[in-house]
Amino acid sequence: MLIKIRHPKYSSVELRDGSLVIHSMQGKARVLQENVEDVAVAVHDDEVRIVGFLGKTYAWFFSGSEDLQSERVELGLPYGGGGRLINDEAGNSHLFYFVKQSIGHGAQLRHQTFSDKWGTPQTVSINVFAERSSFSASSHSDGYLHLVYCGHNDQHLFYRVHDLENRVWSGAVVFSEEQCSYPQFIPTAENLYLFWQEERKKTILRVRHKQQHWSPITQVSSGEGHVSNVGFSFQQGQWKVLWGEESNFYEAAFDNWSDSRVVERADYDYAWVVQGPHTIAVYETKEDVLEEAPEDGSEDTLKHVLEPQEAPSQVPEVEPQSEPEPVPVPVHTERAQTKRESEEAKLQAAFIEHAFRTLQEWEKVREEMERWKRDFRLPEPVDLSPLVTRVERLERRLLNLQQNQEQGRKLWQDSVAQTEQGLARIQSRLRDLEDMQKVKPRTFLQRVLGRG
């Protein structure tokens, strides 16, 4: 992942195979951190701010104008993706990221502010659809921080604002009850624009803007095909939105949504760029990329290569020479060339036909899915209350029988214990009687008779 930045010293920040790298304008690269899973970048004046996420309960924060200083940021819980870093009007940075929640299948969206030092993490919402493309945040000149996110269950689009002075988040307001994705704020000098995609019969692109209040929702795409690869362009002081719709690629200027026009996708390069307060997907024309590429005096060389050289003012006289006779081309070479061209044409036609069939099959699958969604009906619910009542009655009877059985067992155990105690007492009494019989004195008659 490569993120371009506009800075006097640095040109881009790259996450490559777990290595967080920053590139200078001279083409030098410096590794900031290893074992990085995700990165978020922002630029305030000439200060670069980078957060590298390691998938742990902390992240590394790099900031500075020339020499970047590192600092550990405590997240509180293990990182769950979606890291984004944006700036507000006062120059403070706001970090958004997901953490896993203990209950449910969604994620918990957290917010942390950097103003000279990092503040305490704050939970914005729970049960958020855990994808980087499911939320967007932006500051605006009204002194608030604006946030939209997709819920986990039905991916409805929710909207909140953050009071920067009191550091309090508002309650959630539903912006769309359709299945939404890829929301994106674009702040301009006058308005704050919000774009998002909705899953209807076709995937459509919608927009609304805020000046004092939010405007009604406007559909940007035609609706004839599925929208994809939405990006933005800022050239000559004008914002444009670009998107793909089936095999066509469209461009529309802000507030002129109905005047969209078809452009060539091959004329644009797609890149992530830190534009204003946040990082957005930008389409750059290849001419602009070529103009921005040379930074070390190679512009003249590039221009010299691209432009045709002027002819010399004086051409020396050259004696006319007889033209060489054309060398005959063998017949088998011409046949081979013709055969190769024919095969290439057949391959190209087969490729185009295969692509067209694939597109048709995909469209058929999408239509079948939509038809299945419309036609699918859940069966009528069965009244289980009589069965539930009988089961509850049986449970109560079983419970009573169990309690009676326990009481009977206890009484029987008490009776057995009492019987054992009675037998013990009788045995003790018999032993006492036997002992008394042994020690009893003999009578006079017993003594006389005993002598005889």
Residue 262 CA to chain centroid, in angstroms?
30
Which pLDDT belongs to residue 231?
A: 93
Output the pTM of the full model. 0.63
The answer to whether 113 and 119 are in contact (CB under 8 A) is yes
Which pLDDT belongs to residue 324?
A: 42
Q: What is the pLDDT confidence band of residue 218, given thresholds at 50, 70 and 90?
A: very high
Least confident of 19-23, 227-231, 316-320, 387-391: 316-320
The answer to whether 104 and 126 are in contact (CB under 8 A) is yes
Which pLDDT belongs to residue 429?
A: 87
What count of other Cβ atoms lies within 10 Å of the Cβ of residue 114?
22
Which pLDDT belongs to residue 390?
A: 85
Which pLDDT belongs to residue 212?
A: 85
SS3 at position 118:
strand
Which pLDDT belongs to residue 375?
A: 73
Q: Cα–Cα distance between 142 and 323 in angstroms, integer?
A: 78
Reduced DSSP (H G I as helix, E B as strand, rest coil) percent helix, strand, coil of the chain, to 5? 30, 40, 35
Residue 92 has pLDDT above 50, yes or no: yes
Residue 6 exposed, middle or buried by CB count within 10 Å (0-12, 13-18, 19+): exposed
Q: What is the pLDDT confidence band of residue 133, given thresholds at 50, 70 and 90?
A: confident
Q: Where are the beta strands (DSSP E) in 88-202?
A: 93-100, 107-115, 117-118, 122-128, 135-139, 144-150, 157-163, 168-169, 173-176, 179-187, 192-199
Helices (H), 331-443: 331-375, 385-438
Helices (H), 74-198: none
Closest CA to 82 of 20, 150, 157: 150
Place of tokens 């993706």: 81
Least confident of 159-168, 260-269, 316-325, 424-433: 316-325
Which pLDDT belongs to residue 359?
A: 61
Q: What is the pLDDT of residues 395-452, one digit of tens each?
A: 888 888 888 888 888 889 888 989 989 899 998 888 888 877 777 677 777 777 766 5
The answer to whether 258 and 272 are in contact (CB under 8 A) is no
Residue 256 has pLDDT above 70, yes or no: yes
Which pLDDT belongs to residue 304?
A: 33
Residue 207 CA to chain centroid, in angstroms?
21
Which pLDDT belongs to residue 165?
A: 86
The β-bridge relationship of strands 227-235 and 107-115 is: unpaired
Least confident of 67-71, 86-90, 245-249, 439-443: 439-443
Which pLDDT belongs to residue 103?
A: 65
User: 163-182 burial, b if ≥16 CB within 10 A, otherwise e?
Assistant: ebeeeebeebeebbebebbb
* Mean pLDDT over each residue of the chain, to the nearest integer: 82
Least confident of 4-18, 163-177, 335-349, 399-413: 335-349
Q: What is the pLDDT of residues 341-398, one digit of tens each?
A: 667 666 666 666 666 567 666 667 777 777 777 777 667 677 777 888 888 888 888 8
Which pLDDT belongs to residue 317?
A: 40
Average pLDDT, integer, range 55-74: 92
CA distances from 295 to 2, 10, 25, 40, 284 (A): 19, 12, 7, 26, 18
Which pLDDT belongs to residue 451?
A: 61
Which pLDDT belongs to residue 154?
A: 87
CA distances from 134 to 95, 185, 209 (A): 15, 12, 19
Q: What is the pLDDT confidence band of residue 297, given thresholds at 50, 70 and 90?
A: very low
Q: What is the pLDDT of residues 309-356, one digit of tens each?
A: 333 333 334 343 343 444 454 545 556 666 666 676 666 666 666 665
Residues 6+ apart with CB under 8 A from 260: 220, 222, 250, 251, 252
Q: Cα–Cα distance between 292 and 83 in angstroms, integer?
A: 28
Which pLDDT belongs to residue 303?
A: 35
